[in-house]
Amino acid sequence: MPVNTRREIAIRDFRPLSARQRVAAAPLVRLAPGSGPTILQRVTKHFVIIFALWSRSPVMPHRKIIHIDMDAFYASVEQRDRPELRGRPIAVGHDGPRGVVATASYEARPFGVHSAVSSALARRLCPDLIFVPPRFDVYKAVSLQIRGILRDYTELVEPLSLDEAFLDVSHASSATLVAREIKGRILADTGLTASAGISVNKMLAKIASDYRKPDGLFTIPPGQIEPFVAGLPVERFFGIGEVTAAKMHRLGIRTGADLRMWDEMELVRHFGKAGHSYYGYARGIDDREVTPDRIRKSLGAETTFSQDTDDRETLLSELAGVRGEVWSRLMRHEFRGRTVVLKLKFGDFRQITRSRTLAAPVDCVETLCRVSEELLSAVDFGGRKVRLIGLTVGNSPEACAESVQLRFDFTESDR
Ligand code: DCP
Ligand code: MG
């Protein structure tokens, strides 16, 4: 829904209160028995009615989106771990004729050293630049630590890369306070600063996080979207890359206000389907949802017996049933994993797991059968009866590779 029509819709759709709402308002309005209503009663009554009208307004509440982006991520991790690099201009990357800068510390940026600049040029721009070789395993571990923090605030976390993510915190009363707290947690737990942008959609939140970097926190509230977008250079819109921005410049479109003057079909004529999105961006509209990272880490099934048992034959046949279910799920989800985990819960509700990691992902039901039966036969029940048996396959090569995508091959659509 276009932001600028929100007020019109809100007014147009006001209707009389329902009987239920009148009943809800009644106790507050009937303050005291007596002749006529006092001034206080009249004011209260009007307040209650306005509140009830507002609360039943069909206007969808705005989403509350936070975009978190770590500051000079790889470089900050290096400066954190090597105090002698703090306050110095550093570039993460290999120094050499074919080297490229992955990122630069904020001390190096005024020299023009930043991501994707060749190492040779970076050295010329900043002769004191210190090159630090990348340690991807460390960045990945920090990234996972940050994701863990973000997931403490909502399930709706969509990582965009190792160092940035969107969160949908529409449930919170103040997204800005949540973002402030997240920044504090990240600093306390990792020793690194993050910038946060807060607004009603992804595009605006992403722009906002960049607005006060480093260590920034910037909110674009609903009432300020229009003037904010109007003054924004088109190259700062999330979704408009360098090539498109250059084309817009040639058409005389430099700011959101310029873009807003264009007819939607004209934009489509010049920019193809993306023209529809640009038309929305100029009005601060972006309907994309925060899509959580749903990469599956494991897949399994389990069954609880109606009667606890320690009979090995019964357990083998129950295991076969569970295994059949796991196998069909593996097929259905085209999931592959190298680790087979057997879970047993005993009559006293204590639980154990036994696992084996294979050299290659489980590729046939016979392997799953052999491994699961071997795991079961090696368990000592300690005189207890089994109440539940479960089987899981995990350690998928796809899930492990998930966040190692590095961004040297930046393309327009990534922006
Ligand atoms: N990266 C990369 N190659 C690129 C861009 C980025 O290897 N062309 C890596 C290094 C960065 C990390 O991804 O540290 C995060 O990218 P950002 O664009 O968020 O840049 P920074 O976090 O380094 O800096 P900023 O403070 O501007 O976010
Ligand atoms: Mg960053």
The C-alpha atoms of residue 362 and residue 372 are separated, in whole angstroms, by 11
Is it the case that residue 238 has pLDDT exceeding 90? Answer: no
What pLDDT does 62 receive? Answer: 85
CA 130 to chain CA centroid, Å, is 33
pLDDT tens-place string over residues 198-216: 999 999 999 999 999 999 9
Residue 219 has pLDDT above 50, yes or no: yes
Secondary structure (3-state) at 334? coil
Ligand 1, CB within 6 Å, residue ranges:
69-74, 102-103, 115-116, 163-164, 213-214, 406-408, 410
Q: Whose CA is nearest to atom 13 of ligand 1?
A: 407
Q: Calculate how far, in angstroms, residue 236's C-alpha sits from the geometric centre of ligand 1.
A: 16
Comparing C-alpha atoms, which of 79, 58, 69 is closest to residue 12? Answer: 58
How many H-runs (helices) and E-runs (strands) does the chain carry?
16, 12
64 phi, psi to nearest 5 deg = -120, 110
What SS3 class is residue 1?
coil
Residue located nearest, by CA, to atom 24 of ligand 1: 72
Please compute, for residue 76, the number of CA atoms within 13 A of its CA located in the half-sphere on the CB side: 19
Q: Indicate the helix (H) or strand (E) that contains 137.
A: helix 136-151
Is the pLDDT at 384 greater than 50? The verdict is yes
Q: 207-229 burial by CB neighbour count: b if 16+ within 10 A, else e?
A: bbbebebeebbbbbeeeebbebb
Distance 283 CA to ligand 2 centre (A): 26
Among residues 260, 264, 67, 76, the alpha carbon closest in space to that of 168 is found at: 67
Give the whole-number percent of the chain exceeding pLDDT 70. 80
CB atoms within 10 A of CB 12: 10
User: Which of these is catalytic: 78, 107, 164, 318?
Assistant: 164
Say if residue 302's pLDDT is above 50. yes
C-alpha distances (whole Å) from 17 to each of 9, 40, 41, 54 are: 17, 21, 19, 10
The DSSP letter of residue 105 is: -
Long-range contacts of 239-247 (CB under 8 A, 24+ apart): 239/203, 239/274, 239/277, 239/278, 239/281, 239/286, 239/415, 240/278, 240/281, 240/415, 241/411, 241/412, 241/413, 241/414, 241/415, 242/412, 242/415, 243/412, 244/271, 244/274, 244/412, 247/271
- Taking CB atoms within 8 Å and a gap of at least 24, the contacts of 304-308 are 304/345, 304/387, 304/388, 305/386, 305/387, 305/388, 305/389, 308/346, 308/347, 308/385, 308/386, 308/387
Predicted pLDDT of residue 39: 58
Closest ligand to C-alpha of residue 414 is 1
> What integer pLDDT is reported at residue 349 of this predicted model?
80
CA of 73 to the centre of ligand 1 (A): 6
What is residue 397's predicted lDDT score, i.e. its pLDDT?
75
* Residue nearest atom 9 in ligand 1 by C-alpha distance: 102
Which of 76, 101, 103, 206 is the best mutation target for the ligand 1 pocket, counting ligand atoms within 8 Å of the beta carbon and taking the most? Answer: 103
Ligand 1 centroid to residue 143 C-alpha, Å = 13
> Within a 10 A sphere around the Cβ of 361, how many other Cβ atoms?
17
Position 29 confidence tier, pLDDT thresholds 50, 70, 90: very low
Measured from the alpha carbon of residue 103, the closest ligand is: 1
Ligand nearest to the CA of 114: 1
For the chain, the average pLDDT equals 83
Q: Please give the full DSSP string across 266-315, using - where no structure is assigned.
A: HHHHHHTTHHHHHHHHTTT---PPP-------EEEEEEEEEEEE--HHHH
Lowest mean pLDDT segment, chosen from 20-29, 34-43, 185-194, 195-204: 20-29
Is residue 374 annotated as a catalytic residue, yes or no? no
- Alpha-carbon 198 to chain mean position: 13
Best mutation site among 131, 407, 411 for ligand 1, i.e. most ligand atoms within 8 A of its Cβ?
407
Measured from the alpha carbon of residue 92, the closest ligand is 1
Q: Which atom of ligand 1 is nearest to the CA of 410?
A: 8
**Ligand 2 centroid – CA 72 distance (Å):** 5
More confident residue, 160 or 174: 174
Between CA 217 and CA 113 the distance in angstroms is 24
For residue 413, the 8-state DSSP code is G
Q: Encoding tokens for residue 71?
A: 């500051």
Residue 284 CA to residue 271 CA, distance in Å, equals: 18
What confidence tier does 293 reach under pLDDT thresholds 50, 70, 90? low
CA of 9 to the centre of ligand 2 (A): 38
Own/partner contacts of 403-408, CB < 8 Å, gap of 24 or more, are 403/140, 403/143, 403/144, 403/159, 403/162, 404/136, 404/140, 405/161, 406/102, 406/136, 406/162, 407/115, 407/161, 408/100, 408/102, 408/116
- Between the CA of 70 and the centroid of ligand 1 the distance, in Å, is 8
**pLDDT-based confidence at 398, cuts 50/70/90?**
low
Residue 374 confidence (pLDDT): 97
What are the tens digits of pLDDT across the range 140-153? 899 999 999 998 89
Residue 160 pLDDT class (50, 70, 90 cuts): confident
Give residue-wise pLDDT tens across range 47-95.
544 544 444 444 456 899 999 999 999 999 999 999 999 999 999 999 9
Beta-bridge mates of residue 65: 168, 199
**What is the pLDDT averaged over residues 31-47?**
48
pLDDT for residue 377? 96
- Near ion ligand 2, which residues have CB within 5 Å? 69-70, 73, 163
Q: Which atom of ligand 1 is nearest to the CA of 163?
A: 15
Q: Looking at ligand 1, which residue's alpha carbon is closest to its atom 20?
A: 72
Distance CA 387, CA 40 (A): 65
Nearest residue (CA) to ligand 1, atom 21: 72
CA torsion, ordered 143, 148, 153, 158, to nearest 10 deg: 50
Of the pLDDT bands very low, low, confident and very high (cuts 50, 70, 90), residue 330 is confident
The residues with which 131 forms a beta bridge, in sequence order, are: 91
